[in-house]
Structures are given as C-alpha cells and as structure tokens.
Amino acid sequence: MPQEVRGVIAKAKGEPVSVETIIIPDPGPGEAVVKVQACGVCHTDLHYREGGINDEFPFLLGHEAAGVVESVGEDVTDVAPGDYVILNWRAVCGQCRSCLRGKPQYCFATHNATQKMTLTDGTELSPALGIGAFCEKTLVAAGQCTKVDPAAKPEVAGLLGCGVMAGIGAAVNTGEVGRGDTVAVFGCGGVGNAALEGARLAGAKTIIAVDIDDTKLEWAKGFGATHTINSTNVDPVEKIRELTDGNGVDVAIEAIGLPQTYEQAFYARDLAGTVVLVGVPNPTMEIKLPFIELFGRGGALKSSWYGDCLPSRDFPMLIDLYLQGRLNLDGFVSETIAIDDVEEAFHKMERGEVLRSVVII
Ligand code: APR
Ligand code: ZN
Ligand code: ZN
C-alpha cells in the first residue's frame, strides 16, 4: 500500500520551501523504503531550490541521511527491513566502463529508485541527489542503503552521506594524504573541516586551515588544524610557505569552489605536490594559469567527486573509527531542528552561522 508522509518540497525557483504530503510507493524490484531518522541540511539542497542544479521542480529536498530500512522489493538481498543505514548517492552499477575496470568509486551509471514519489495530486517529485530525505520515509534504490553500526546516532551518521564524506575523501582518497605529509585546506565549512579531519586521520604532521572568518578558523582547530590563516589581509601562499620550511604543502585542498582560492591552492603546494578541488565552481567561472607552471611544478591537479568514496567501503569504516573516538563527527552538528525549520536553516547556512543543521525526524 502506498503511504502518505510529510516531506520538504521546493516548488519553484527561489521560493521558500514548504512541508507537504508525499506519496511513497511500495518498493519495487531493486528498491527500498527507508524510515528517515535524521538528515543534514547541505548547500546542494539550497542550490536545488535556487534552480542551480536543474529545472525539474518540484524537488523533494534532503540527502545527508540515516535511518532504518522499512521494506524492500522482492529481489533485494543486500539490505533487509530493520537494517540501520546511511543513504548514499553512489549506488554503483557494477557494469559501466569504470566499474568494469575496477574503479566503482567513479561509477558513471549509479542507481536510484525507478518508481517516483509524488504529491497527493500525482505530480512526480525529483528527489535531491536521488534521495529526498527531508521526509518521514523515502524510496531509494537498495544500493543507496549502506549498513553501518547502529551505535552511531543518526544525526551524526547521516552526515557521512554527503558533505563530510566529500571532505574526508578529498584528503584521504583523492589527495592520498599520508603519514608525515603537510596539508593546507582552503575554506573551513563542513566540507573543509572534514578535509582537515581526514588529513589528521591519515597522519599528516602539519595541517593548515585557511578561511576569511575567524569563527570558522576557531572551529577548524577542533578538526585537526595545527595552524590557521585568516587570508583577509594576509597572503596565504606566503604564510603557508613560511610554515613549511619555504616549500609549500604536499597536498592543497580547495573546499570553496572559487578561482582565486584555487589559484592560492595551486601556488601553496610544494613541487610534485597535489591540488585537490572539492569545492564546486559555478558554470561561469574561469581560471587562468601560466601554462609553464602546470608543467614546471609537476605533481597532480585532481578533482574529488563525493570524496571519491565507495560507500560500502568507506561508510562502515568511518563509523567504526567514530565509535572508537578517532574521528570527530559530533563537531559538525551545530544544531538539530524539526522538519518545519529547513527554510530557516538555509538562512543560517547563508549567514555562515552553522556547519550543519540536522533535521531530526
Ligand atoms: N577565502 C577563504 N575562505 C573563504 C573564501 C575565500 N575567498 N570565501 C569563502 N570562504 C570560506 C567561508 O568563510 C566558509 O567558511 O569558505 C567556507 C565555505 O564553507 P561553506 O559555505 O559552509 O560550504 P561547505 O558546505 O563547506 O561546502 C564547500 O564544497 O561540496 C562543495 O558545494 C560545496 O562548493 C561548496 C564547497
Ligand atoms: Zn558503474
Ligand atoms: Zn550534500
């Protein structure tokens, strides 16, 4: 029987979001219905509402979530009702050219539910990142459910579903930060702080946080920053060189998505170092760099999609490290809110007041 639940909808470009009644179909083949327990508010939800992702309104927002599987389609064997899961937006297909070459973390044909969730008048909804979890229940592809230890509370576990995973993965998976490395992270929001945390986890010896907001830099210290730079009035490249014997860092991570901070990251790294871009630029931005510098500095310029994560490998491992006290995930939860408070949470995010507001459902 299809079920009626409450969910947060963006109806039209720029309009405030509203809580509406949503119809959730029973799971078909390859699908699961998940009772959502918590879902973080991410910039991407706001980008959907602003029409910055695509025009397929109305959107069912929310995508950084944890919950319990309620029911599964008849052929589903990987997860079962009662399983505690983090929802991911990388349910790998196993058959695309990347999966077949042993690189499922880049899967080019990830799975989402086939059936549509709708409004009560039958209007089909576009779930944010194929998830749609500011909702009491949501329909996803079974592969989007990653089982983790239920000892981790949902408001913390859910964050690994998007931004925090993107940041940790930018350092650990994409940047391949190693023991004794020097690392700089530009932008200390949820993603940047997670990159700092990833660098700490990987054993980096010097971890430099760069931001233009002193409050953010103060928070960054709680995520492993050994040094902080407010780049409002200081050249962060020079300062980073000073902190690294004049050399620059092994890995420079850009977690904002701006040309000027990408350029800073580019020049702040040591010869043969790596630049990782995890901030998402907007489509109008351009960068200009002297071509000879691309060659002369060697190393690697990489982009990190969702932290190059493989949910089945990374989520349970990171939850275990969290439960052992080796990963600060609690620090990302600035506040917990109700499902009716998402619009206000967007404003707090725009004002830079929170790392993450998390909806408890
Ligand atoms: N120099 C340094 N820091 C800056 C600058 C700048 N020119 N401009 C902004 N910042 C800082 C902000 O003060 C803030 O602390 O960058 C941080 C950005 O953090 P958030 O806005 O909270 O964004 P976050 O959720 O961390 O996402 C960062 O990653 O996944 C992408 O789409 C996401 O592009 C976004 C980026
Ligand atoms: Zn694939
Ligand atoms: Zn997100």
List pLDDT tens digits, range 107-159. 999 999 999 999 999 999 999 999 999 999 999 999 999 999 999 999 999 99
pLDDT for 35 equals 98
pLDDT for 329 equals 97
Which letter does DSSP use for residue 261 in this model? H
Contact residues for 3 (Cβ-Cβ < 8 A; gap 6+): 23, 24, 33, 137
pLDDT for 331 equals 97
The residues placing their C-beta within 5 Å of ligand 3, an ion, are: 42, 44, 162
For the domain made up of 3-161+328-360, the CATH class stated in words is alpha beta
- CB of 278 within 6 A of ligand 1: the answer is yes
Per residue in 220-267, pLDDT (tens digit) is 999 999 999 999 999 999 999 999 999 999 999 999 999 999 999 999
- CB of 40 within 6 A of ligand 1: the answer is no
- CB of 213 within 6 A of ligand 1: the answer is yes
The residue whose C-alpha atom lies closest to atom 7 belonging to ligand 1 is 261
- CB of 212 within 6 A of ligand 1: the answer is yes
- DSSP letters along 67-84, please? EEEEEE-TT--S--TT-E
Closest CA to 270 of 245, 304, 236: 245
With 90 as the cut, is the pLDDT of residue 91 above it?
yes
Q: How far is the CA of 110 from the centre of ligand 2 (A)?
A: 6
- CB of 337 within 6 A of ligand 1: the answer is no
With 90 as the cut, is the pLDDT of residue 193 above it?
yes
The residue whose C-alpha atom lies closest to atom 29 belonging to ligand 1 is 279
With 90 as the cut, is the pLDDT of residue 281 above it?
yes
Q: Span 163-185, mean pLDDT?
A: 98
Q: Span 42-53, mean pLDDT?
A: 94
With 90 as the cut, is the pLDDT of residue 272 above it?
yes
Amino acid at 142: A
Domain range annotation of the chain? 3-161+328-360, 167-304
Share of the chain above pLDDT 90, in %: 99
With cut-offs at 50, 70 and 90, classify the pLDDT of residue 283: confident
Pocket residue to mutate for ligand 1, from 162, 221, 228, 256, most atoms within 8 A of Cβ: 256
**In terms of CATH, what superfamily is 167-304?**
NAD(P)-binding Rossmann-like Domain (3.40.50.720)
- Give CA–CA dist 191/193, Å, rounded: 6
Mean pLDDT of the chain: 97
Q: How far is the CA of 302 from the centre of ligand 1 (A)?
A: 18
- CB of 186 within 6 A of ligand 1: the answer is yes
